[in-house]
Amino acid sequence: MEVKSNNITVERTKRSKIDQVDFDNLSFGSVFADHMLVCDYKNGEWGAPSVVPYQPIELEPSAKIFHYGQSIFEGMKAYKDDQGGVWLFRPEENQKRLNISAKRLAMPELPKEIFMEGLATLLQVDQEWIPQTKGSSLYIRPFMFASGNGFHASPADAYKFIIACAPSGPYFSGKVKVLIEERYSRAANGGVGFAKAGGNYAAQFYPTQLAVQKGYNQVIWTDDNTHEYIEEAGAMNIFVRINDTLITAPTNDRILDGITRKSILDIAADEGIETEVRKITVAEVINAAKDGSLKEMFGAGTAAVVSPISAFGYKEVDYNLPELDQSYAALLKKRITDIQYNRGDDKFGWRYRVL
C-alpha cells in the first residue's frame, strides 16, 4: 500500500548532512536525518503538518512538558530492500498505540491521516537516509509532548507532534545478561505502564544503572505487588522457552502491548511452535534453569527485534542458558526481518510499502 499526500508542505534543507555519515559503522540513534515532520495542536484542533529541516525546538520555561510530563512516543523502522524499495512494518499498529497513550495522558488524539501521510511524506523526502547495510535501518521516532504554557497542574492547551529519524545499526550486539528485579517496579496497576510514556523509561534508568554496576546489561521487571511474576525485559517484552513451549506474560496495565510481541506469537503459531500467554513466576524460571528445561529467554521489541538472553541473575546467583544450534529466537527473528526487508513471504500482510 502506498500513501501520498498533497496536503503537507515541504521545506528542504539547504545543505544535507548525509555526506558526513559513515553508513557502514552506524551506532543506534545518534545520527539524525535531514528533515522532520512537525504538527501543532492549538485552539482545540490539529493544524497542517509540514516537513522542515531537522532543527532545535523553541519552548518557554513554563511549557508544561517540563513540569507535568505529558510526553509519549513510538518506535518504528523503515527498511530498504535490494531493489531500493522502502518498507514499513505494521505502521498502523504504531498509530493506534500512539493514540492509546495519548488518551491515558489526557493528550489529544492524532488523526490517522496526519500520522500515516506525514510519515510517508517524510520518508519520501529522506529516502536516501535509509541504509542498506546489513542489520541497519532508519529508526523512526514519532513523539508528542505538551508545548502549552503554565504552572497550573492540569493538561496543557497546546501540543506538538514530531517525527524524527536516525539511520541506525543494531541496538544490541550479541547476547545480554540480565538481573531479575526484586525491589523496584517498572509500573503499577492502574498506572501508565501500558502506554509509551516518557516517564516510564525515565523511571527505569536508576534500577538499570544499579544492575549495570553489578555486571548486567538489563533488568527483568517483576510485578509491583509481590515481585513473583516475570513481566518485561528492560524496555522490551520477554519470552521464556521451557522445553518446547514459548511463554510470554499477558498484557495488562503494567505491560506494553508490543507490536513485535504480537508478531512473534503469530509467527510461532505459523511455525507450529506451542505458545502460552500466561503469568510466569520467577520460581518457575529458576526451577526450569536448575532442571535443564529452560532452553531460551529473549527480549522482543522494535529496536532489537529479538535479543537473546545468555544468562540471568537472581538473589546473587547467576544462571546460564544453553547455546542452541536451532533456537526459536533465531528462527523468529529471521522470519520477522525477512518480512521487514522484503526478503520473504508476508502471509500476514504486515509489510507496508512507502516507495
Domain boundaries, the chain: 9-168, 176-339
Look-up of cell digits 491515558? 104
Q: Which fold has domain 9-168?
A: D-amino Acid Aminotransferase; Chain A, domain 1 (3.30.470)
Looking at per-residue pLDDT, the higher value among 5 and 20 belongs to 20
pLDDT for 6 equals: 55
**Does position 278 have pLDDT exceeding 50, yes or no?**
yes
Lowest mean pLDDT among 33-37, 158-162, 232-236, 258-262: 232-236
pLDDT for 177 equals: 96
pLDDT for 166 equals: 98
Q: Mean pLDDT, to the nearest integer, of 217-228? A: 96
DSSP state of 238: E
| Percent residues over pLDDT 90 in the chain | 95
User: What ranges in the chain are assigned the alpha helix state H?
Assistant: 65-68, 91-104, 112-125, 198-213, 259-270, 282-291, 328-340
- What CA–CA distance (Å, rounded) separates 93 from 302? 12
pLDDT tens for 301-354 read: 999 999 999 999 999 999 999 999 999 999 999 999 999 999 999 999 999 999
Query: For the chain, what is the mean pLDDT?
Result: 95
pLDDT for 7 equals: 80
The strand pairing partners of 160, in sequence order, are 40, 145
**Does position 4 have pLDDT exceeding 90, yes or no?**
no
**Does position 2 have pLDDT exceeding 50, yes or no?**
no
pLDDT for 171 equals: 83
Look-up of cell digits 522502502? 86
Question: Per residue, what are the HEC states of 282-347?
Answer: HHHHHHHHHHCCEEEEEEEECCCEEEEEEEEEECCEEEECCCCCCCHHHHHHHHHHHHHCCCCCCC
Distances (CA, A) of 92 to 190, 194, 257: 26, 17, 14
Look-up of cell digits 509519549? 72
pLDDT band at 1 (very low <50, low <70, confident <90, very high): very low
Supply the DSSP string of 50-83, one letter for each residue.
EEEE-------TTBTHHHH--EEE--EEEEE-TT
pLDDT tens for 188-219 read: 999 999 999 999 999 999 999 999 999 999 99
| Percent residues over pLDDT 70 in the chain | 98
- What CA–CA distance (Å, rounded) separates 271 from 337? 15
Contact 302, 262 (CB under 8 A): no
pLDDT for 222 equals: 97
Q: Which fold has domain 176-339?
A: D-amino Acid Aminotransferase; Chain A, domain 2 (3.20.10)
**Does position 120 have pLDDT exceeding 80, yes or no?**
yes
**Does position 170 have pLDDT exceeding 90, yes or no?**
no
- What CA–CA distance (Å, rounded) separates 273 from 294? 15
pLDDT for 172 equals: 75
The strand pairing partners of 237, in sequence order, are 232, 300
Q: Mean pLDDT, to the nearest integer, of 267-283? A: 98
